[in-house]
A and B are shown apart, each in its own frame.
With several copies, the nearest count.
Chain A
Amino acid sequence: MTPRVDMRVRIGALELRNPVMTASGTFGSGAEYADFFELSRLGALVTKGVSFEPWRGNDSPRMAETPSGMLNSIGLQNPGVEAFCAKDLVWLADADVPVIVNVVGHSVDQYVAVAERLDSEPVVSAVEVNISCPNVDAGGIAFGTSCNAAADAVRAVRAVTTKTLIVKLSPNVTNVTEIARAVEAEGADALSLINTLLGMKIDTSSLRPTLARGTGGLSGPAIRPVGVRMVWEVARSVQVPVIGMGGIMVAEDAVEYLAAGATAVAVGTATFVDPMSAVSVIDGLQQFCAVRGIDRVADLTGAAWPERTS
């Protein structure tokens, strides 16, 4: 029998039963994967991005495979917050799992409108403001690549939400810690990173971009070293907890993120490869701690930092 490991972690006001979430856009609102495991196993379920009005998303093809990764240019297709509340949240009300809703917008007003609408929904434990989607023309990454724009969006959302406020950062920036500090200053309770790296693939038979939109967001194990580096940088520069993601396939990958400074992690592309990935990461993390005599998974956070080394 493995010794008991305290797997709980705290993100803002939220206490999670373990540090493993789903990454937004890779888990729908959970119904599809409920066939595969009990959603209550998860630390938290992060929904796909939800906008105020319905969004159509981008033209097809929207996906391309790349070495140890994939590009997507879904473009945040979603039915809008009303339909989301009416359908997805109603379904989620019966799932015993903290729900974090990923919020998207083309303008500050749109982010605010979604956050405001969600504030009255008891099923929602936290909102994750996505200022980092590379696949929409207006909004998304435009907010996530400038300190001022990021601060404006977060300030406005902070004013209308009482929920735990997570801000999702873009890796497509020169200095991610600057943006991290700017949104922390506006009241973000936690930061999540990384969203996808902006990438492109060209179909050499047609000599055209493979994705209809041209560029897309790169995810999967290929980007893990970038994600771990950015979590390391950000976690050392802010006081709020960091949720690390990007290429987590197995528990050891999650350990990398935690040791780099993350308090929790999210599993994205891996779920497409194996629907059980998030659960395997949870079990593997527990095992990892048990074998090494680590009592609390929270003790892994920042374990690789130089100040913890000696």
Chain B
Amino acid sequence: MCSAHRPALESVTVISNQRLAEHVGRVVFEAPRTAAAIRPGQFVHLRIARGAAFILRRPFSVFRAGAGKLEILYQVVGAGTLALAEAKPGDGMDLIGPLGHGWEFPGGMAHALVVAGGLGIGPMGMLVEKLARLGVASTLAQGARSADQLLARDIFEDTCRHVEVATDDGSAGHTGLVTDLMDDLVAADAPDIVYVCGPEPMQRIAATKAAQAGIPCQVSLERLMACGVGVCLSCVVETTSGLQRACVDGPVFDASEVAWAGAGEAAVRR
């Protein structure tokens, strides 16, 4: 990687911060260095507040980047994201980025299936934009609790060839798990690759389905992260080649290399 792509500390300014749905927001930062350097599937380690009782940074996928700006979709789950939701335009923060190993784009792909559950949509904006630039047709299977939690639908409607949705409560699309959509989509589109992000049990199901269909699958895993840069070993993922660090070796892993049992849900609460 050339040095412009190496992680660095960048002071950033909130440009806008809107509520998108219950407990969900979209924040846009002025962050020229990171916006120029970041690749799809990478993340930033954000210092949300100084002087707060919580001290660690919070990792967030970058949903979209461009024109010096970074866009992040976030769900309010605790003290950090609550403080993020309260940030106002003009507020300063800082982040470390770009971080991690993002999505891989193997040559020769014609069709990609993108599967996102809940905030697993976080790293998918840059992904589908890149796929579009590569001329790969993408189908998005998006799942959420309810219709209003299907975030950024307009962007995906514009960029993907096809979008299908599933909700837990049936308020939009299929009633049930987003992974329920996979069989039909795999049959219909014969994708060359499956990209997955969401709650870990859902990722595991998606990975299994992809494996059964014989399609390569990449998953973006969440782990608790203290440093975000590879030194603390908080974020390890059990893989076929031993323990790997989600923050530098991931967060995107080849699903076939993840040793799902043992790693698994325990690592994050949700």
Per DSSP, are chain B's interface residues mostly helix, strand or loop, or mixed?
loop
Least distance between B235 CB and chain A CB atoms (Å): 8
Measured between beta carbons, the chain A residues less than 8 angstroms from B231 are 26-28, 32-33, 48, 271
CB-based contact A26/B53 at 8 Å:
no
Q: Which of B43-58 contact A (CB under 8 A)?
A: 47, 53-57
- A207 on interface, CB distance cutoff 8 Å: no
Interface size classification for chain B: 20 to 34
Known: A57-B236, A212-B266, A271-B227. A36 touches B8 (CB 8 A): yes
Q: Which of A225-256 contact B (CB under 8 A)?
A: none
- B20 on interface, CB distance cutoff 8 Å: no
Number of interface residues of A (CB under 8 A): 38
Identify B243's interface contact among A33, A77, A276, CB under 8 A: A77
- B234 on interface, CB distance cutoff 8 Å: yes
A67–B6 Cα distance when bound, in Å, is: 31
A60–B244 Cα distance when bound, in Å, is: 12
Measured between beta carbons, the chain A residues less than 8 angstroms from B9 are 36, 274-276
CB-based contact A77/B236 at 8 Å:
yes
- A272 on interface, CB distance cutoff 8 Å: yes
Measured between beta carbons, the chain B residues less than 8 angstroms from A72 are 226, 232, 234
Q: Which of B8, B55, B243, B263 has the most CB of A within 10 A?
A: B55
Least distance between A69 CB and chain B CB atoms (Å): 7
Measured between beta carbons, the chain B residues less than 8 angstroms from A67 are 53-54
CB-based contact B236/A26 at 8 Å:
no
Measured between beta carbons, the chain B residues less than 8 angstroms from A57 are 233, 236, 243
Identify B56's interface contact among A36, A62, A65, CB under 8 A: A65
Binding site for B on A (CB under 8 A): 25-28, 32-33, 35-36, 48, 56-57, 59-65, 67-70, 72, 74, 77, 203, 205-206, 212, 220-221, 269, 271-276
- Of the A-B pairs whose beta carbons lie under 8 Å apart in the complex, a sample of 6, sorted by A's number, is A62-B233, A64-B224, A77-B236, A272-B232, A273-B56, A274-B47
